[in-house]
Chain A
Amino acid sequence: MEELPRLLLGGLKIGAVYSLAALGIVVIHKATRTVNFAHGALIMLGAYFGFFLLRLFGLPYALVYLLAPVAVGGLAAGTEWLFLRRLRRSDAFSVVISTIFIGLAATELIRVAYRSDLLSVPQVWNGPPFFIGDFVLTRETLWIIVGALFMAGTGASLFAVARFGRPMRAMAASARGAQLCGYSVNVVYAQAWFLGGTLAGFAGLFLAPVMGITPELADIMIVPAFVAAILGGFDSIKGALLGGVVLGLIETLSAAYLSSASKSALTFLILLAILLWRPRGLFPESKIRDV
């Protein structure tokens, strides 16, 4: 039982990244009614963009954390503006399907360029770890937990409180109403994809030193991101934040005390259970909306 605090910290670390990932999905879904299956690919791109800026351009980490996520956000907004917008005219169903193939295209493009080599980036903090009693907290872990949760919190308030999120909130409440109030669907959708993409970029950037950088990141991250979002109620901002942390803890603990394979079986069982018995998630938004 001595290792419990260490496990909890590990769960919190991966959970914080899941929160970022889930939040991006929820933001995009709320504002544009599109389930983004390319989100895993966006996260992967965040890690690669970080690698490009660090290794190819030799930028310091501070700038990388500023530029890489924004670049992913810009790419996501560009995809919406140039491609999804056209498709949306015919059928909302095909927009969702197309995100799957957009994700595939991005992953394959990276694979062609870099094969499946495991690239790595240095840790952000290299100083000595902190000792609390007889247990060790590395600077890296602290940075990821605090940094990722802080960014997720910032993203959530940008959407839910700040002026920047108002058009998206309006679109989420009623697309027609928002249009009547003078918000352009095209602009607001692009904004939502930008915000969601930026959050995905951060998730990838926080993940990169821990997991290493491969095209596989896209597939590895898509399932926990969705499950975390569903855990939180899928349309709930607060739910996505908490859902990520809860999922991270459950996964880490079950991998440690049961087996690593049980982790994924458990993920599916959680998903089934939530869908069957608590479809509005563990942390639903207070307002009841039509399903």
Chain B
Amino acid sequence: MSDDQSSWRACRGVAGPCLFTILLTALALPFGTYIQYVASLCLIAAIVGVAMVLIVGFARVIMLTSGAMMAVGAYGSTILVERLDVPYLLSLIAAAAFGALAGAVVALPASRFRGHYLAMATLVFQFVIIIGLREWSSITGGAAGLSVQNAQLFGHRLTNDGEYLLFIGLAATVAVAILTTLLYGHYGKALRAISATEIGAESFGIHVARHHLFAFVISSAAMGFAGALLAPRVRILDPESFGFASSVFMLAYPVVGGMHSVWGGLLGGAILRALPEALRAGQELQGLIYAILVLSVMTLFPRGLVGAISDLARRTRTPREDRTLAAAKLAATPAGRSVGQSIERPLALEIDDVNVSFGALRAVDHLSLDVRAGTIHGLIGPNGAGKTTLFNAISGFIAIDAGAIRLFGSGLEGEAPRLRIAHGMTRTFQNVALFGPLTCIDNTILGLGRNGIGKSVGASIAQLFATTGDRARRQVALEALAAVGIDHLASREAQSLSLGDQRRLELARAIASQPRLLLLDEPVSGISRDEETGILTLLRRLSVERAITMLVIEHNIHFIRRLCDRVSAIALGRILAQGDPETVISDPQVRSIYFGESALTTHVGPP
């Protein structure tokens, strides 16, 4: 079944990169000491490469402090071993911890910033660490360097290149396995979801800042670990070898290899680390050749070597049948909680005298609105009436200035958007906010909302072992896809779907967590008439079968009339009229303000 298949796929995803490091070790072992030495450097670079894929490719932060992170690990471990007689193995773990700590410091601004500000913070951190190492010479040896003794493992001192290679190969395999598990698991998907749409991610419970912080921590830990592995190999640590130039060199690993897959980091790291050894003759030209190589790869193969290889493979291979298609056709009965049509329906959503202002503009003005459980409630009004503002206030993206919003009786004051999914509320977006590069099934799994940082790391590990939790998640997600009728597209990338299917996928993601209230922002804008009818039946069915209360913004009056039980018309942030659809639509005030009938009549006649 598909569950076992997914676990098998997850295992294979991790096994491949591990096999690469093992194979690299095994292939270099029979050769001479020089090759063995270079292979160990390449293995260390492969760890860094995968860590860079995590932070650059998945979290999309331009990391310019990898040299400093390696220095933190290398110096940290060496000082522990030399001064405090800590065993080397223990110092490796300590080095990872030092790296993690340094990563957390750099990531401090990540709580507020993405992108370029973080890149600049990493740049400055890089320079500060190196200057610190140079100046604090009583501990670090300063510019003269710090000599490192051969590593000692369980009383045995490593002396030759072969022994080192074996040990480093083993360590690299472990590190790559851990990083790959995270990257290909739930955590990596959450990261990619964030880079696709932060607002979408936030509204499905992904804590953006914490996920970014963890990306810094884990990748810096890996770099610190790599630095500690490197220390006994270079014999003398000097600050300059971990300088800004080395960070730029390491940034090239994921760029050249391909920053969207673990393989990109492995290949980029291994190849680029071997390159200077191959270019020994033209030492002074190395930097220039390196820069030109990177720029050429960026222009010719924007997705890196791995992207180029997979494009080539795709062109030669015949397209094979979508395997999950068959798997998805399993009994997909929605886990509906049918609700009795009780007459006295409780309130699902209470909006009580709410105000939202942007400067002098009052977008929502003392607005009160009740949505009864089990109903489909329409929200109409001209552009700028405050409909989407109201939605954003309900889902927590905008703070309200006054009033209260209650969901099934409990207040929501000051709760972050990502926490509101726990109250049983989800939403869709006017301009579809899907996680484009992820598959439909992954989009829907993220929609389940168990996306706290701990849970998402846990789920990454669970995926390897096909635990019942992991199985259940996939099953629920498949059911949600089936309920909106796109289960046959489960393994397609979300961005490759038609707009109509994308809107269906947004619905699947929104209903996966079995919400009690669903906010729909223009669910049928921009799609065809046929699709419109399809969505209409779908929404009605979901409302009954899954007992979901819905609040719908839509300009398509025809659609609202057929879909909704009640309608509220708003303009300038205030309620104009409320009641059943026909009454509201025929209300003279609504007709004049929204449909512009009075304007129409005054303009009829000679120009």
Identify the A interface with B (CB < 8 A): 35, 37, 83, 86-87, 90-91, 93-94, 96-98, 100-102, 104-105, 107-109, 111-112, 115, 219, 222-223, 226-227, 230, 234, 259, 261, 264-265, 267-268, 271-272, 275-276, 279
Contacts and interface: CB of A to CB of B under 8 A. Distances in A.
Given A105-B292, A112-B288, A279-B113, A226 B124 contact: yes
B56 to A, nearest CB: 8
A111 B252 contact: no
A105 B291 contact: yes
A111 B121 CA distance: 27
Given A91-B302, A275-B113, 9 more contacts: A96-B62, A97-B255, A100-B64, A101-B252, A102-B291, A227-B120, A265-B132, A271-B121, A276-B108
B131 to A, nearest CB: 5
A94 B248 CA distance: 14
Main SS class of interface, B? helix
A112 B289 CA distance: 11
B259 to A, nearest CB: 9
Contacts of B245: 104
Interface string B246-266: 001001100100000000000
A272 B108 contact: yes
B88 interface: no
A58 to B, nearest CB: 29
Nearest to A222: B123
Contacts, number: 111
A87 B303 CA distance: 12
B131 A35 contact: no
A97 B291 CA distance: 12
Contact of A226 (B111, B123, B244, B255): B123
A97 B298 contact: yes
Contact of B121 (A100, A105, A259, A272): A272
Contacts of A94: 255, 298, 302
B302 A223 contact: no
9 contacts: A97-B255, A97-B298, A98-B295, A100-B62, A101-B295, A104-B290, A267-B124, A268-B128, A276-B108
Contacts of A115: 284
Interface centre among A37, A90, A96, A279 (most CB of B within 10 A): A37
Contact of B248 (A86, A101, A223, A276): A101
Interface residues of B, number: 39
B109 A100 contact: no
A97 B119 CA distance: 10
Given A219-B244, A223-B124, A86 B288 contact: no
Contacts of B131: 261, 264-265
A266 to B, nearest CB: 9
B291 A104 contact: yes
Nearest to B359: A288
B120 A87 contact: no
Given A111-B284, A226-B124, A276-B112, A98 B298 contact: yes
A110 to B, nearest CB: 10
B287 interface: yes
B277 interface: no
Contacts of B62: 93, 96-97, 100
A112 B285 contact: yes
A230 B287 CA distance: 30
A90 B288 contact: no
Contact of B116 (A96, A112, A219, A222): A96
Interface in B94-147: 108-109, 111-113, 116-117, 119-121, 123-125, 127-128, 131-132, 135
A149 B127 CA distance: 27
B601 interface: no
B288 A109 contact: yes
B574 interface: no
A104 B117 CA distance: 20
A228 B285 CA distance: 33
Interface in B303-349: none
A278 to B, nearest CB: 11
Give 8 nearest A-B pairs by CB, closest first.
Answer: A105-B291, A108-B287, A261-B135, A275-B109, A108-B288, A35-B116, A104-B291, A268-B128
A252 B287 CA distance: 33
A50 B519 CA distance: 63
A111 B64 CA distance: 22
B117 to A, nearest CB: 6
Contacts of B295: 83, 98, 101-102, 105
B60 interface: yes
A102 B292 CA distance: 8
Contacts of A109: 288
Given A86-B299, A275-B112, A100 B292 contact: no
B288 A223 contact: no
A222 B127 CA distance: 10
A3 B299 CA distance: 53
B291 A87 contact: no
B284 A35 contact: no
A115 B298 CA distance: 28
B440 interface: no
Contacts of A112: 284-285, 288
Nearest to A229: B120
A259 B251 CA distance: 32
Contact of B127 (A87, A264, A272, A275): A264
B294 interface: yes
A100 B290 CA distance: 12
A87 B108 CA distance: 31
Contacts of B299: 83, 86-87
B120 A97 contact: no
Interface centre among A87, A104, A265 (most CB of B within 10 A): A104
A96 B112 CA distance: 20
Contacts of A90: 302
Contacts of B285: 112
Given A83-B299, A230-B120, A279 B112 contact: yes
A98 to B, nearest CB: 5
Contact of A96 (B119, B124, B135, B284): B119
A83 to B, nearest CB: 7
Contacts of B248: 100-101, 104
A35 B112 contact: no
Contacts of B302: 87, 90-91, 94
Contacts of B288: 105, 108-109, 111-112
Contacts of A102: 291, 295
A112 B255 CA distance: 24
A86 B298 CA distance: 10
A40 B315 CA distance: 42
Interface in B34-84: 60, 62, 64
A271 B116 CA distance: 13
A267 B288 CA distance: 30
B559 to A, nearest CB: 29
A200 B498 CA distance: 47
Contacts of B111: 276
A219 B246 CA distance: 13
A90 B287 CA distance: 26
A91 B127 CA distance: 28
Contacts of A93: 60, 62
A271 B291 contact: no
Nearest to A269: B128
A279 B123 CA distance: 17
A264 B121 contact: no
A35 B284 CA distance: 29
Contacts of A219: 127, 244
A210 B245 CA distance: 25
Contacts of B290: 104, 108
Nearest to A215: B287
Contacts of A104: 245, 248, 287, 290-291
A101 B294 contact: yes
